[in-house]
Structure 1
Amino acid sequence: MEMTYDEMDSRIRSLEPYEQKLKDKICCPDYSGFEKVDYSDKGIKSQVYVMNYLNSPTFDTPGLLKTVYLEKKKRHLFMNKNARFATVEPHVHDWVELGYMYSGSCTQTVGGKEILLKQGQIIILDSGIPHAIGYTDEGDILINMLMEKEFFTYSFFSRLAKMGVITEFLMNAISEQTSHDSFIVFNSEDNRRIQLFMKELICEFLSPTGMEHEIVNNLIALLFSELVNVYEKGKEEKHAGHGKTYVVPIMRYIEENFTHCSLKGTAEKFGLNANYMTTLLKNTTGYTFKELVTGHRLQFAAGMLLNTELACDKIIAASGCGNSTYFYKKFRERYGCLPKDYRKKGKTEN
């Protein structure tokens, strides 16, 4: 049976054994398993813990909901409930973090700035930005969703290509070449859809259905889409230490013109040097121009294989890929089989 919202609420509000110990002052958070490093921001030096939520045997993470593996390559999406009756010391981690204030409120210190996160609001934190959480009482329930950089594939960005600020923020978060000093607070407390999508995500983690991978992927896409609506209505507060990137419009252009766009032509359209543009794309998204174009062509071809009876050579031509040998190689790398087998498998499953 599907979990109801009342069942989910009861489960979320119940005290974990670790939280009960914190409430009774029997124990306190143990950070001994984490490395403490020096951090400097604008000349101000401090020390922060480097956290790894999945691999640390010493840090008790109460309210662990579930670890879901998206697709078949273990692209982790991790969700947990923040431990109440304690503070969380300043720390960093290599994950993009989304915090949802399910109930009550809490104070967070992010990059030296203090923020009050209220019920229904969302904060998205850049990977590598120091942050701490103030004391939370029994009614203050913060749900954290942590996403590995590998989660943000070119196909994920394709779905967000028209969501400028979100795409821009996430591409910066996964880049090794940019500073990591950003966060966005969304005043989403009055947005019905945000609350709905978050409740559905929590239910799916607590009581997964047989299609949890697809459901979670689609819910996250819907969540980010609605966050863009919140942003565009001017209700957001964005903090960033760097200028806007040109990558979002380039990615949008590739998405709309992948069948015929070239590196030289695309670079000229945006007034950029071709080598500089492909380096910019690689440093920001993790993919070169050619890889992004090929990804869209493969995605297009896969859809055509499942939804039409066109011959494979015609689909390859329609995708814009002139080299069939290269196409077959890349298709097999991505889907694990040849196009004809992919089509056959799709018909069998349907």
Structure 2
Amino acid sequence: MDIYHIGEELFRRQLVAKQLTSLDTWLTLAPNKSALTPVVTAFFENENGCIHRHCNSRPTLLYAFAGTVLVNINGQRLTLTSGNLVFVAAQQTYRVLPLKAGDILTTLLLPMAHDLLTLLPVTDNAQLKLQLSVIQQDYRRWHYAQFNNDKIEDPAYITERILCEVLCPAVFAATRVTHFFDLMVIELLRLDNYLPPRLQRGKRQVTTADLLQYIDQDYDVCTLKTMAQAFHYNPNYLSNRLKSATGQSFIQLVDSRRMEAAMTLLANPHISIDEIVMYIGYSSKSFFYKKFKERYGESPAQRRQAVLTE
């Protein structure tokens, strides 16, 4: 496998998954028992019309192979175009919005020793030290780092070389991939295409619309604490402000958004109610049933039956 044929293979696998109406969030690029598994495990996002939520136990590298991909992470919405890369810290939740035809997002799960902070090099160059310091501080705060490279630049080429090794491991594949990651980070720093998280929320007056948009995007994972951190507010102040502006508490607003999402998902018979509970952010099926019946006067199963027979 060479980099000139990776795209054909990815599109072929995506097409097969669509024909099989696969509901998996990821499609595997290599067998689970590949010789490269300890070094890198690779997937690509399934184009099945769903929002996918991920929270990986290992550091993660997202690579937009083709098209335009929207990712929500830590209150930020990232727009990834072909060639863009995002490092995501272990245990950080992120969501991938539904892909369109032609969009391909690959995911590489890295060893803990290959977290971005570990991969960043040491340097005596004053300008580079400042650049590294900004990335390190942002990464510790936001738990991700986005690099907006073009498809023709070296980091994209190196990433696709890694994908080649994953699809068809050759001699010394694990060693090559390990060094590819080091080289990739060096090239990222040389190009200086790092895109800091949007800080305008802390620089301008935050509106109620901003707060409601945050809940709308991250209703499945947000808490009052994480929302307060994202907007640089005290949690109690934020709670009181939402109540004053909307007449509802933070919990009520989140529950309302979750119920809206549940209603949409219930119309899809291929998604089980257990999956809906997990997807919208509830940890208890019984609690979900209670909330749903309080709001709509019927159980989720009854609502699904009614929708499917309309």
Q: Give the TM interval when normalised to the shorter protein.
A: 0.5 to 0.7
Task: Please tell me whether the aligned partners of residues 126 and 181 of structure 1 are also in contact (alpha carbons under 8 angstroms).
Answer: no
SS of the counterpart of 2:27? coil
> Counterparts of 1:151 and 1:95 in 2: how far apart (Å)?
9
Distance 1:12 1:103 in 2: 10
Is 1:20 the counterpart of 2:19? The answer is yes
TM-score by length of 1: 0.47
C-alpha separation in 1, matches of 2:116 and 2:189: 19
2:27 to 55, 62, 74: 62
Alignment partner, residue 210 of structure 1: 171
Query: Residues 171 and 209 from structure 1, CA distance in 2 versus in 1: closer, same or farther, beyond 3 angstroms?
Result: farther
Question: Size of the alignment, in residue pairs?
Answer: 192
Q: Does 2:83 correspond to 1:120? A: yes
In structure 2, C-alpha distance between the alignment counterparts of 1:133 and 1:105, rounded to whole Å: 11
Q: Secondary structure at the match of 2:142?
A: coil
Alpha-carbon distance in structure 1 between the residues aligned to 2:60 and 2:75: 17
Q: How far is the alpha carbon of 1:236 from its aligned partner?
A: 2.1
Deviation, structure 1 residue 166? 5.9
Q: How far apart in 2 are the matches of 1:172 and 1:118?
A: 21
Aligned to 1:183: 144
User: 1:25-68: CA deviations, max 9, x gaps?
Assistant: xx534xxxxxxxxxxxxxxxxxxxxxxxxxxxxxx731333566
Structure 2, unaligned runs of 5 or more: 200-310
In structure 1, runs of 5+ residues without a counterpart are: 30-59, 174-178, 242-350
Cα 1:153/1:117, change in 2 over 3 Å: closer
Q: Secondary structure at the match of 1:10?
A: helix
Q: TM-score if structure 2 supplies the norm length?
A: 0.53
* 2:59 and 2:110 in contact (8 A); partners too: yes
Deviation string, structure 1 residues 254-282 (Cα, Å, up to 9, x no partner): xxxxxxxxxxxxxxxxxxxxxxxxxxxxx
The aligned residue for residue 10 of structure 1 is: 8
Could you say which structure has the greater relative contact order, defined with CA pairs below 8 angstroms and 6 or more residues apart?
A: 2
Distance in 2 of aligned mates of 1:124 and 1:188: 13
Secondary structure of 1:227's aligned partner: helix
Larger gyration radius, structure 1 or structure 2:
1
Distance across 2 between alignment mates of 1:191 and 1:167: 27
Give runs of aligned pairs for residues 78-117 of structure 1, distance below 5 A: 78-117=41-80
Cα distance in structure 2, aligned partners of 1:127 and 1:166: 20
Q: Distance in 2 between matches of 1:62 and 1:76?
A: 18
> Would the aligned equivalents of 1:110 and 1:132 in 2 still touch at CA under 8 Å?
yes
2:40 pairs with 55, 70, 77, which one? 77
Aligned CA RMSD, in angstroms, stands at 3.3
